[in-house]
Amino acid sequence: MSTYLPFARTEARTNYLNADYGWKSWLFTTDHKRIALLYLFSITAFFFVGGAFAVGMRVNLLTPEGIFAHDTYNKLFTMHGIIMVFFFLVPSIPATLGNFLVPLMIGARDLAFPRINLLSWYLYMIGGAIALTAIVKGGVDTGWTFYAPFSSTYSNTHVILTAIGVFVSGFSSILTGLNFIVTIHTMRAPGMTWGRLPLFVWGHYATSLIQVLGTPVIAITLVLLGLERVLHAGIFDPAVGGDPVLFQHLFWFYSHPAVYIMILPGMAVISEIIPCFSRKALFGYTFVAISSIAIAVLGFLVWGHHLFVAGQSMYASMVFSLLSFLVAIPSAIKVFNWTATMYKGSISYETPMLYAFGFIGLFTIGGLTGLFLATLAIDVHVTDTYFVIAHFHYIMVGGMVMAYLGGIHFWFPKISGRMYPEGWARFAALIVFVGFNLTFFPQFILGYQGMPRRYAHYPPEFQVLNVMSTAGASILAVGYLLPIIYLGWAWRKGPKAPQNPWNAKGLEWEQSPTPPPTYNFETQPVVTEPAYNYSGESEEVGIG
Amino acid sequence: MTHPVVPIKTYAAVFGALLALTITTVAVSKLELGEFNFVAAMTIAVIKGTLVVMFFMDVRRATSLTKLIVGAGLFWMAILFVFVLSDYASRGWLPGPRWF
């Protein structure tokens, strides 16, 4: 990626981890790398809280009669969704790996607004604390979608408190997006043209656009929900002159693009891993970069496919159906180009690459079943069934979480300065893949056979598939706990990592010590080559 | 980047205009104008929003990139409005005659 400047040592004597000590040096830091770690530990905690609710649901579904009261089950799936979507998936890669890597990858000393970066973490924690307070006080039962008029009028749980938590954390997301956009526009190193930007950065740029443009809409929607609940303003409740479909329009205007907030950074990670472990430049760099922007733009035009059976005009539904199909094009471009990158590559099977393989397969299944749901007639049959649950978990868990884990392993040496145990990591990746498929593939069948989502009970003929799903969830839980254990061990006891253990291209590997110093580079990096120049070409070779 | 100092009179005048427009909104809501009550309220709101963006946020003197970002925000809001309103407008339509 760049001219290799000589280093006096492979590990900086002073790095961002040992530059300062004490809790104040962490809680008041403006170093993007330390803030990334604050986010990493916070979202990991939220991931396990959200996971605990999933465990409760899967245990309940072991038997047709279940073990929890209906109200309790309603709260379990609601709080699972709210914690996982708003407090894990949305911030996961951008706030951790993105925060850590975007300045390093473009050759900058930090993000453009370091204090705003810290503010975004505090807002996230305040929002999370408010949502957790709502849970401790008794929880909320509206579903993560907060559909009105149930949420605005009839639910007697802690809707307002939870909505405030989501509202506040939304500003954290906006600030992170804003910071990335300004940083990428204004702080690139000499020679780091838009055509040489790593695709990780392109992916985060597209994500940031959605965060800045979409998040205010969910914020104002939740404010309107609060106004109706507290002041009985007639906005969504037909009993006081409102329209419940309006809520769904406003909610999904953000929440469908939010799916792309979750998956685009995952794609960004995969675009880094595959060239490295195939020892080849990414096939069709320009198309992959543009496809990120295309997904961000088209992603804003498809929200109506969540309203096919909600009373939306059939003409609007037809338009939204067509537009939903169009999003498959840039997504497919990425999958085809990753595959073409591997073709005749010198592939090796380190843990990040195993997660990348998993991502490609599972994301493809998730994406293709999304086309089923974009088809009007099929959607009528499977709306609100487990088919939908399986579909979006293949995207968000099979896709996004696999990419997240792949990225964590890929950059773990850079972040911690240590190597993780490769054998254990490969074993965990395998466990996650098996556990995930056993959990969610049966749900496609359950949904197609008509099992609705969000019910605590089900007919006895669905029990076998539900038991398989719960067994898979147990395996998946082991797969998620293993990295916590061995990465935690490796952080303190693992062998010291060389500067560039994967022989990867990119400023963060080639020109920054491992772990990086506080201001990332010892000298100003200058970029003279295209991205992913694994073949050593001196100039860009054009598209494709 | 340096900005010319905006005289405080300008801010005061804009603030006064915003207050006057708020009073106008309340006054107009008392009149029976039928559908035009909504039109009048929205028109006043757009004028107020424009004043805030142009003067308090100083977009009138901002760089082209900032103006582009503001324009993108308005365009995105237009997407939301156009699609949602097209749903409402076409909800009552019945299927047309078959042409095949």
Same domain, B26 and B52: yes
The sign of the CA dihedral A428, A429, A434, A438 is positive
Q: Which residues pair with A418 in a beta bridge?
A: A496
Domain containing residue A404:
34-510
Domain assignment of residue A292, yes or no:
yes
AA letter at A236: F
Q: How far is CA A62 from CA A12, A17, A411, A476, in A?
A: 53, 45, 38, 16
Taking residue A30's Cβ as centre, other Cβ atoms within 10 Å add up to 16
Same domain, B53 and B7: yes
Burial A182-194 (b: 16+ CB within 10 A, else e): ebbeebbbeebee
Same domain, B49 and B79: no
Domain assignment of residue B12, yes or no:
yes
Domain assignment of residue A479, yes or no:
yes
A301 min Cα distance to partner chain B (Å): 8
CATH number at residue A484: 1.20.210.10
Domain assignment of residue A236, yes or no:
yes
Domain assignment of residue B19, yes or no:
yes
Return the minimum-mean-pLDDT range out of A413-427, A471-485, B68-82: B68-82
Domain assignment of residue A21, yes or no:
no
Among A161, A165, A159, which Cα is nearest to A78's?
Answer: A159
Domain assignment of residue A520, yes or no:
no
As a whole number, mean pLDDT of residues A331-352 equals 96
Domain containing residue B44:
1-57
Residue with tokens 């205009």: B17
Nearest beta carbon to residue B87 from set A300, A301, A313: A313
B63 min Cα distance to partner chain A (Å): 14
Distance CA A96, CA A84 (A): 16
Q: How far is CA A258 from CA A60, A85, A169, A398, in A?
A: 29, 9, 14, 17
Q: Check residue B92 and give its pLDDT.
A: 83
Domain assignment of residue A53, yes or no:
yes
Domain assignment of residue B15, yes or no:
yes
Distance CA A148, CA B66 (A): 36
Q: Do B91 and A300 touch (CB under 8 A)?
A: no
Nearest beta carbon to residue A315 from set B76, B80, B90: B90
Same domain, B53 and B6: yes
Same domain, B13 and B46: yes
Q: Do B91 and A311 touch (CB under 8 A)?
A: yes
Is residue A34 within 8 A of residue A463, CB to CB? The reply is no
Domain assignment of residue B31, yes or no:
yes
Q: Helices marked H in A232-375 — which ranges?
A: 244-278, 285-298, 314-342, 351-374
Return the minimum-mean-pLDDT range out of A98-102, A161-165, B9-13, B71-75: B71-75
Give the count of domains, chain A.
1
Percent of chain A with pLDDT over 70: 96
Same domain, B87 and B47: no
From chain A, the residues in CB contact with B73 under 8 A are 213
B9 min Cα distance to partner chain A (Å): 32
Residue A25 reports pLDDT greater than 60: yes
Distance CA A220, CA A167 (A): 8
Among A325, A183, A310, which Cα is nearest to A251's?
Answer: A310
Give the count of domains, chain B.
2
From chain A, the residues in CB contact with B62 under 8 A are none
In chain B, which residues touch A (CB < 8 A)? 65, 72-73, 76, 79-80, 83-84, 86-91, 93, 95
Q: Do B87 and A217 touch (CB under 8 A)?
A: no
- How far is residue B63 CA from its own chain's centroid? 21
AA letter at A251: F
Q: Do A185 and B65 touch (CB under 8 A)?
A: yes
Same domain, B47 and B72: no
Residue B97 reports pLDDT greater than 80: no
| ipTM score assigned to the predicted complex | 0.85
AA letter at A310: A
Taking residue A147's Cβ as centre, other Cβ atoms within 10 Å add up to 18
Q: Do B80 and A313 touch (CB under 8 A)?
A: no
Confidence of residue A282 (pLDDT cuts 50, 70, 90): very high
Q: Check residue A9 and give its pLDDT.
A: 47
Same domain, B5 and B32: yes
Residue B22 reports pLDDT greater than 80: yes
Q: What angle do CA A190, A194, A199 make, to 5 degrees?
A: 110
Nearest beta carbon to residue B76 from set A213, A249, A311: A213
Same domain, B53 and B67: no
Cis before A515 (ω within 30): yes
